[in-house]
Amino acid sequence: MRRPSVARLRGFLGAGVLGAGLAAGCAPIEAPQARSLIPVPAPARPASLTRIMPDPSELAAYYQRIEDERVASGLMRRDEGETPISASILARNYIDIALHDEYLLSAGRYRARTSPSVLRRWERPVVYRMEFGDSVPPAMRAHDHAKVAALVSDLAGAAGHPMRLLPQGLSRGGNFHVLVLNEDERRAIGPRLEALIPGIDAAAVRLVAEMPRETFCLVLAFSRDGNATYSEAFAVIRAEHPDLTRLACYHEELAQGLGLANDSARARPSIFNDDQEFALLTAHDRLLLRLHYDPRLRPGMTESEARPIVFRIASELLAGES
C-alpha cells in the first residue's frame, strides 16, 4: 500500500491556500514504496468562517463572499508586485520554500511543523490532465482548460522543464491529474483516486474525502521507491469556487506540485506565502521555478549540499545583485 512520506495541505480560506487567497505547504509522507506531498490549510481563519457548511449548494455563495472580501481588502492581487528582489533574498526564499516542509505526518494526522527537507522535483516530463466532475458545466470546463493550458505553458517556460496539458475530455493518461469536483463528488472520490494512484494509502484518500471547507484546494505528489523524484501527482480544486479563486488554486497547486512545497512569510511578492496577497504567479515565483529545475541541483540534496549552488544560481539569475 502506498503511503505518503511527506504531506502538505493548502487552503484558501479568507487568507490562505485554503484561506484568504491562496496558501499551503506540503510535507513528505513515509511509505513502503512511495512518498507523497500533501497540501495543508494555512493562515488564521476569521471566526465567522468556522461554522460548518452542511449543504454543498451553499458553498458557492460562501466562497464568493470570501473572494469579495479579500479583493476588497487588497488581497488576491494579479500584478507582479513592487518589491525588488536581490540574489540573496531569492536564495533565502528558495531555501525556505523548496528545502523545508510545513507539515509533518504524526499519529496519522498532518500537523503544522516546519522541518528541513530534501530537494524534490520531477525528472520526467510533467503531463497534466484535467478531470471534471459531472456537476461542472461545459462552459466552465472549456474556460478552465484554456486557463490551465496557459498556466502550464508559463510553468514550463519558467522552469525550463517539459510540461504539457492533455486535450480536454481524456479520461486516461497524464501523470499530474487536476480534479475539479463539487462537495458531493469530492466526498465520493476514493475509488477514482485508487485507480489513478494504485496503492495510495487510505489516509491520503481520507484526507481528500474529509477535506474541511477551510481547505480551498490541495495537491499531493508521489515518488516511488523512496526516492526524491516525483512520478505522479494530483490536485483537488473545488468546483464551487468563483473564477478568480479557482484560478488562484490552479496557480498555487500546480506550481506547488512541482516541488516548491513550503510557504514562507518572508517571500514577497509571491503566491508561496500564507498572506494571500497575490493570487497568481509572480516574476519572483518564476525565478524560484527556474532555480529549482537548474540541472546543477539534484533531487535528494539537503540544504547544506544545495546552499552554495543555490546562491550561485540566484546571483546569475539576478546579474550578481546582493
Q: Is the pLDDT of residue 156 over 70?
A: yes
pLDDT tens string 186-207: 999 999 999 999 989 888 999 9
**What's the pLDDT score for residue 235?**
98
pLDDT at position 172 is 93
Q: What is the pLDDT of residue 121?
A: 97
Q: Which of 241, 177, 179 is nearest to 213 (CA)?
A: 241
pLDDT score recorded for residue 145 = 98
Residues 15-37 have pLDDT tens digits of: 222 222 222 233 333 332 333 33
Q: What is the mean pLDDT of the chain?
A: 82
Residue 257 backbone phi and psi in degrees, to 5:
-70, -5
Helix axes 138-159, 283-292, angle to 10 degrees: 60
Could you list the beta-strand ranges (E) of the chain.
Answer: 12-13, 18-19, 25-27, 34-36, 38-40, 100-106, 109-116, 121-122, 126-132, 163-165, 176-181, 217-224, 229-230, 232-238
Q: What angle is formed at CA 128 by the lines to CA 40 and CA 233, rounded to 5 degrees?
A: 40
Region of poorest pLDDT, from 27-31, 215-219, 277-281: 27-31
Quote the pLDDT of residue 13: 26
- pLDDT on residue 102: 67
pLDDT confidence band for 109 (50 / 70 / 90): low
Confidence of residue 280 (pLDDT cuts 50, 70, 90): very high
Tell me the CA distances in angstroms from 135 to 54, 180, 205, one per residue in order: 18, 9, 21
pLDDT for 45 beyond 50: no
Query: Strand, coil or helix: what is 104?
Result: strand
pLDDT at 298: 97
Residue type at 13?
Answer: L
Q: How far apart are the two ends of the chain, measured CA to CA in Å?
A: 47
Instruction: Report whether 42 contacts 255 (CB < 8 A).
Output: no
**Cell 476588497 found at:** 72
Domain chopping of the chain, boundaries: 12-317
> CA 111, CA 7: separation in Å to the nearest integer?
9
Q: What is the pTM (predicted TM-score) of this model?
A: 0.84
Q: How confident is the model at residue 35, as a pLDDT?
A: 32
Which residues, at least 6 apart from 152, have a Cβ–Cβ distance to it below 8 Å? 128, 163, 164, 165, 254
The mean pLDDT value for 65-93 works out to: 93
